[in-house]
Homo-oligomer: A and B are copies of this chain.
Amino acid sequence: MLVVMRHDATAEQVESVARVIEDMGYQPRPIPGAQRTAVGVVGNDGRVDAARLGALPGVREIVHITKPYRQVSREWKSDDSVIALPGGVVIGGRDLVVIAGPCSVESKDQILEVAQAVRECGAAVLRGGAFKPRSSPYSFQGLGQAGLDLLAEAREHTGLAVITEAMDPESVSAVQECADIIQVGSRNMQNFSLLKKVGRASKPTMLKRGLAATVTEWLLSAEYLVSEGNHQVMLCERGIRGFDGTTRNLFDVTAIPATQSLSHLPVIADPSHGTGRRDLVPAMARAATAAGAHGLMIEVHPDPERARSDGDQTLSIPEFATLMQEIRAIAEALGRGIATPVRQAVG
């Protein structure tokens, strides 16, 4: 439930609404916004006395949330959520944020070379897996803590923010220590114990869509994060399961605007996993940009043929450079730009 304030409501009136909500045994959640100010009622068990709240001074109306998810819905907050990263990059605003890097962190040389190269091409965030979820127990499982340390080093050298995945509740603290954005992977979208743990972390978080997840289920998983207190949540479409082996996954580009219409959270697109084919990544990165994604996540490697994971869907550095020009052209044609970090590299 949402208590929407009148345009001319005073700060005292907002404050007083919050106090009454607390008195009733619920938690008030003030939601300032350009279009309206509101106070959300968290912990609503269906027995909130709406009439009492509706009668308070400065209150315009009481809005009942109709979606099963609540705090992540547009009903709850009509303005887009904006997430500020260290280095000055903002996700969810006018400009498109490009996240790039290898599937897995493999070595110091590898990650520094990629980081430097994607920075020069215009990426704002460096991706790289340290803990890798792999279908087979016999596949390379990532460098672990050593991978996190290399990511931190790459950030020092380039000024890029860093995103990497936490695979289980245990590794959340280590990942949170290192990363600027914690990634929750596709296979863990409904790992609710992990979601609760990450929901209590104080770091921006990217939640990838599960292979069989409806948009509603995806937003419910985001609600797990937000209901634990983590409001810096972005979503990532990365392909769902389809019936045609022509592509590895079925990249649901439509889910990008469809989700943006239902939720105020930023939506990133991952055409690398979305297609699973290097030759299709550029076309689909362009498509996601034109569809209105807030950002792109692209796998890039100095030598894709030798990547220890996901080589088939990874761009080389020159391919990524060419793609960035196309992305920029489309973004500008639609009145947008590419977000650039202001933080300076050390190296």
Shortest Cβ distance from residue A277 to the other chain B in the assembled complex, whole angstroms: 8
Task: Classify chain A's interface size.
Answer: 35 or more
A6 to chain B, nearest CB (A): 29
Quote the shortest CB–CB distance from A334 to chain B (angstroms).
Answer: 7
B251 in contact with A253 (CB, 8 Å): yes
A312 at the interface (CB under 8 A from B): no
B279 touches A290 (CB 8 A): no
A68 at the interface (CB under 8 A from B): yes
| Cβ-based interface call for A34 (8 A) | no
Copies per assembly: 4
Binary contact track A228-266/B, C-beta < 8 Å → 1, others 0: 100000000000111111110011111111100100000
Contact for A188 among B191, B220, B287, B291, CB less than 8 A: B191
- Per CB-CB distance, the 8 closest pairs between chain A and chain B, nearest first, are A168-B193, A212-B212, A290-B290, A187-B190, A286-B290, A333-B333, A257-B283, A329-B333
Q: Is A97 at the interface (CB under 8 A from chain B)?
A: no
Q: In the complex, A210 Cα to B187 Cα: how many Å? A: 10
**CA separation between A242 and B330, bound complex, in Å?**
28
Identify which of B134, B210, B251, B274 contacts A212 (C-beta below 8 A). Answer: B210
Shortest Cβ gap from A41 to chain B (Å) = 13
Q: Which residues of B contact A168 (CB under 8 A)?
A: 168-169, 191, 193-194
Q: Which residues of B contact A291 (CB under 8 A)?
A: 283-284, 286-287
Q: How far is the CA of A275 from the CA of B332 in the complex (A)?
A: 25
> Would you call A137 and B227 a contact (CB within 8 A)?
yes
What chain B residues lie within 8 Å of A70 (beta carbons)? 138
Q: Which residues of B contact A140 (CB under 8 A)?
A: none
Is A254 a contact partner of B254 (Cβ separation < 8 A)? no
Picked from B68, B192, B242, B246, the residue with its CB within 8 Å of the CB of A133 is B192
Q: Which residues of chain B have C-beta atoms less than 8 A from A286's C-beta?
A: 290-292, 334
Of the candidates B220, B228, B244, B333, which one forms a contact with A214 in the assembled complex, judged by CB atoms under 8 Å apart? B244
State whether B245 touches A245 (Cβ < 8 A): yes
Contact of A69 with B by CB under 8 A = yes
**Docked complex Cα distance between A286 and B257 (Å):** 12
Distance of A74 from chain B, by nearest CB (Å): 13
| Shortest beta-carbon distance from A32 to chain B in Å | 24
* Cα distance A256–B283 in the bound complex, in angstroms: 9
Min C-beta distance of A284 to chain B, whole Å: 6
Q: For the complex, what is the distance from the CA of A196 to the CA of B227, rounded to whole Å?
A: 29
A256 contact set on B, CB distance < 8 A: 283
Chain A 186-219 interface 0/1 with B at a Cβ cutoff of 8 Å (1 = within): 0110111110000000000000001110111100
The reply to whether B290 and A134 form a contact with Cβ atoms under 8 Å apart is no
A223→B334 CA distance, assembly (Å)? 39
